[in-house]
Structures are given as structure tokens and as C-alpha cells.
Amino acid sequence: MLKYILLGFLNYQPMTGYELKSIIDNSTMHFWHAYHSQIYTMLRKLEDDGLLVSEVDDEADKLNRRTYTITAAGQHELQAWLATSMANVAPVKEELLVRVFFSAQRANADILDELRHQRRLHQNQLNEYRALAPDHLQDRYDSATQRDALFWSSTLKFGIAYEEMYLAWLDQLITTLESQA
């Protein structure tokens, strides 16, 4: 997936690895995380595959910044991926669900402490999403359109709805466990 995230952002404009990490941290990281090392490894692979090219800016006042630009082959690869419909529901990997699933042997107090802590974390995430301006990415790209903003806003709305659902589920489970105490 990181391949397509990088190609997607580079389709807007050329960027350095640092700029890509920054934009990922402020957008897709909320639903697809990537570490610096993963980004740079994937950038090298994409360049080796001819999907992007890079140029080093070795001016004296800069730190040999490498700027990546998507190639026509990279644009074609991105468009082909976008044109292929997803045939299955993506599996969910949620550690808290695994922990809850196997928590019958744990003391209610310990479970409740963990659930309340998770509730605070998810409430903070919800607050962070609500504080984001729906068009916070649009200012970064000259080529961004109102249509881009529509889809970016849609993913933000999903994040908000997800956190609201997660909080409702946590509240319900906390209430159920509290009634058993």
C-alpha cells in the first residue's frame, strides 16, 4: 500500500522523502502508517522499477536533498491500481479486540482500567480529527482540486465516524462490566 501512497502524493508534485513523511504524518497516517525507513526503502524500489526518478540538489546551503518525481510509468501504475476494484473486505487487525476476546480470566478492575485508558486515547484521536480543517492538505499542492478536497474530507469523516463508533463500543462494554462488579 505504501507504494501507492507515495505514487499518489508524487502525482501532485515532486517531493523529498522528508516532505513525503511529513505529508503522510498529516494525512494517510491516520489509516496507513509508515516509518521513515519504509518510505526511503520504497522510494529506492520505485526508482529502480522506473516508477519515479530523483534528482539531488547539492547546492552549498542544502543537505543534498533528493527530490522524487513520478514518471509516466508511475502515473500509469497508480491509475491502474485505482481502476482495479477491491474484491474483498479488508481484514481488521485490532489488538484491543484480541485482548478483549481473551479477557475472561482477567479481573474486571484490570479490564476496566485498560478500557478507560483506551477510551481516553480514542477520545483524544477524535478530538484531533475534529480539529483538522477538511482542506488542510489543499494548501500544500498547486494541482489540488475541489474534487481532491472532497475525497480527502471524506476520509477525515470516516476517521471521525470510526472513533465515534469505537467510543460507543467502549462505553457499552465499560457499562456492561461495571454492572457486573
Residue at a domain's end among 83, 108, 140: 83
> Within this chain, do residues 16 and 77 fall inside the same structural domain, yes or no?
yes
For residue 145, being part of any structural domain is answered with: yes
pLDDT at residue number 63 = 66
> Within this chain, do residues 56 and 31 fall inside the same structural domain, yes or no?
yes
153 falls in which pLDDT band (50, 70, 90)?
confident
Give the C-alpha separation, 3 to 23, whole Å: 15
pLDDT at residue number 132 = 82
Domains of the chain: total: 2
pLDDT at position 75 over 70: yes
What is the domain-level CATH number for residue 76?
A: 1.10.10.10
Domain that holds residue 106: 95-180
Residue at a domain's end among 30, 60, 83: 83
> Within this chain, do residues 112 and 166 fall inside the same structural domain, yes or no?
yes
Q: Supply φ then ψ for residue 107, to 5 degrees.
A: -70, 140
147 falls in which pLDDT band (50, 70, 90)?
confident
pLDDT at position 10 over 60: yes
Return the ∠ at Cα 135 (arms to 24 and 42), rounded to 5°: 15
Return the ∠ at Cα 152 (arms to 24 and 67), rounded to 5°: 35
The position carrying cell 461495571 is: 178
141 falls in which pLDDT band (50, 70, 90)?
low
Contact 114, 99 (CB under 8 A): yes
> Within this chain, do residues 113 and 69 fall inside the same structural domain, yes or no?
no
> Within this chain, do residues 172 and 104 fall inside the same structural domain, yes or no?
yes
Among 31-45, 59-73, 105-119, 120-134, the range scoring the smallest mean pLDDT is: 59-73
> Within this chain, do residues 16 and 59 fall inside the same structural domain, yes or no?
yes
For residue 157, being part of any structural domain is answered with: yes
Stronger pLDDT, 62 or 14, i.e. the higher one: 14
pLDDT at residue number 6 = 96
The position carrying cell 457486573 is: 180
Stronger pLDDT, 170 or 29, i.e. the higher one: 170
> Within this chain, do residues 21 and 52 fall inside the same structural domain, yes or no?
yes
Residue at a domain's end among 83, 111, 138: 83
For residue 90, being part of any structural domain is answered with: no
> 69: Cβ–Cβ under 8 A, 6 or more apart, which residues?
10, 14, 52, 53, 54, 55
For the chain, the average pLDDT equals 90
pLDDT at residue number 46 = 97
pLDDT at residue number 57 = 81
pTM for the model = 0.79
> Within this chain, do residues 134 and 158 fall inside the same structural domain, yes or no?
yes
Among 24-28, 52-56, 110-114, 139-143, the range scoring the smallest mean pLDDT is: 139-143
